[in-house]
Structure 1
Amino acid sequence: MRRWIYLGAMVLALWGVSMKNFLFFHTAVEFMAIFTAFFIALLGLSTRSFAKNKLFAKLGSLYLFVGVVDFFHTLAFKGMGVFPHFTANEPTQLWILGRSVEVLGLLLLFAAPNLSLESASVAFALSSALGVWSVFEGVFPDCFVEGEGLTTFKVVSEYALVAVVVLLLARLKSSEEAELVEFRGTLFPALLFTALAELSFTLYEDVYGFYIVVGHLFRFLSYYTVFEGLLLQALLNPVRVLSSQLLDEKRRYEVLAYLDQLTGLENRHFFNRWVEEMEKDPSTFERNLPVALVLLDVDGFKSINDTYGHVQGDAVLAFVGRCIRSSVRRGDLAVRFGGDEFLLVLPNCSEEQALEVVVRIQSDIRAKNSFPHAISLSFGVASLASSDCGKLRDALIAADKALYEMKRSKGWVPRVRTG
């Protein structure tokens, strides 16, 4: 809504300017259109090597030449004094030429989507150059006669251009081609305003008259739509894409920072951050429910490394990590704590249930072990109430002591410590 208020305010301001100084109004609107055309050319042609939509480069080439013809039209307009021998006829001829290059150029691009940029550029350049030459040499058909007004050629040309614009609008509306669909939201209203402008330019008798003001207001709306849709999006989209890429990179590095690349489990850095968060806000766990900590260690891992090499040692750790991941529940936390040690945080889990998880992991290891040696685990279990999550570090120390005692005794029955 605010956008339309601003746009309406600009149109009213331009209308007011036209009432005070038409030549300034005409020059301002035309230069805005020329600036937009040249900016489309700059962006479209400079990004052609990496832009996914190849139509943008062709539009850039088209509007480069449209801008050149419109520049001549603006300088030639009655009262500018740049070409003293010109009457109102020559700028009107240049207007018809500019709109013909623009509308017929769009028709060419829509009808021949596989046309190369080079071929399209040659067509646009030749038609623009020959048209400007014909105006300056007096060959172009008359479009305005002083004291009489618009010629039949000019009026018929405007209606013919409107008819082509209608065809372009129908093509845009029905097309499923990705290149056209991307620009539909911009080109459709721009072409609609162009058609209204052309219809207005069939009605005036004075080049400073009412209908030429209305036509130029529609022209302003047409190019404003193009400016907002093509140029701002072309400028903002790379920023959005870059921001999205940076955010993705940030997330990727966060994953790398918190994920153990060998086992696919969380790493100790993640666990430390998680403990800090739990100590600040233990409400993540339901109150008064048990939380079990299980610390696991691969038995004889140094011997595996010394006998079979570090590559196989890494493969063993990755294998144990997969068995752990497939044995715990959704919502359980599995961490590669360091070296050959793994840590499980099991919410809403009693000591007995934690032991069942350990048995499940060991059974999975035995069932899937394809290494030429046995793989077994020592472990220690500690538990605490969820309301005591501030004591997680103490529980971890208790689990570590239980693990150490088990490894020392080489038994399979853990001495459970309660934190």
Structure 2
Amino acid sequence: MSPRAGQAGHPARTLAFVESPVQLLNVLEWAHLHGLHDPGPSGPAEPSGPGRAEPGALSGADAGGAGAATASVPPPALPTQPGPAHIGPAHAGPVPAVPVQGRRLPAGAAAAGAVAGGAAAGGTAAGGAELTVVVLSPTDPMTRGQLRRMADLARDEGYRVRWEEARGGTTAPFHTIGGLAGSLRRADRIVMGDPFSRYVQLLLTITRARDLVVVDDGTATMEFVAQLARGERLVRWHRKGGRPGARDLLFAPVSSSARRRLTPSDRRRVEVFSSMPVTEIPDGVTVTANDFAWTRARFGPPRITQSADLVGTSLVETGVVDGDRYLEAVRNLAKAHGATRYFAHRRESAEKLHRLAAETGLEIVRPDLPLELIARRGPIGRTILSFPSTVVHTLPLALAGTGVRVAVCDIDPTWLTDTASPRAQGFLSGVTGTARDVHRLAAVSPA
């Protein structure tokens, strides 16, 4: 789907809603592919006060907490900054973080006036499209820290970023929705990272946009497309199979409305931008491949070490996998393949990570950016070990041509909790089985 001109010769106005660092990364990939640019002074102003994401810094409140990355992001003139946070055994030095990049305008944008007051000025992207990224900030400190860093990268690319404290208290949703209502009604295109989000579903009831775009939110994209094709209600895979709760029933009309709006019609076009294998494509939906061209163009190639790195998962935190079984699997996997570092998922608890460090001897690294960027910048192990997750699909694309091998370990059915969704094993097997350019490992057995 190419950018579409707005009414009366105005550029097409695009609002992107993100709630996680990976969603924002994939918005940048989508915008890079379509040649979008910053709306300039006429775009929505960033909110002032505590909710504003100050360029070039992480606030103490957001960077705090066990294992959180506490480094400030320097201005583009400075070449480096401290790396991600570490838990566990000391090592020779920190893993370098992704450096702040110099301001770059998308292809087709004018070179003149590239930077003015922290936003790109001048220039017209293909199709006259403009982009404002709205961050619906979560409360988790690690996620907020990564989002701050990603917001800085978005500004470096010349896009406007609007930070919303969407969950900052009981009245926060009302202030957020009220403040965005005008922009939503004026927008020609809405880009969203999580169609399962109740926040996003509520915002969809306000917009009149004819173009809707869903960018990857990990493996959930596969389930979203399949549910849309089958006309099912939108439910996250790890919750499917249980009885709807009171909040689900209360929100059901909004969710149904969102599903209808995400169904293509004569008045509405829907695009899915994904690196996931999408098989059940709903009629009228355009699927565009995300090959991480922006990531590969901006970062790397990485320095590759001779050891192996292991990628963590939040399956324990979501109640799918038993914590003790997971720890045992990590220990055995690391021993079998000589892994020395464990890249933690942003949702993994500090208690679990400290236990992993103590009982496995692994160096625990809390990345301050999505792993695709950290791995592309390097240094990274020659082999990356992972359980079924988004990275088994994205890392081979981000690291294409580097010689790094990605290996995925199946989840043994005995690791699942009694409360895991009936669909959990099948879904996780599907994530592994559909991954391209990865080496598949059998589930590790107790030593």
Global fold match (TM > 0.5) = no
More relative contact order, 1 or 2 (CA 8 Å, 6+ apart): 2
* Higher strand fraction (1 or 2): 2
TM-score by length of 1: 0.19
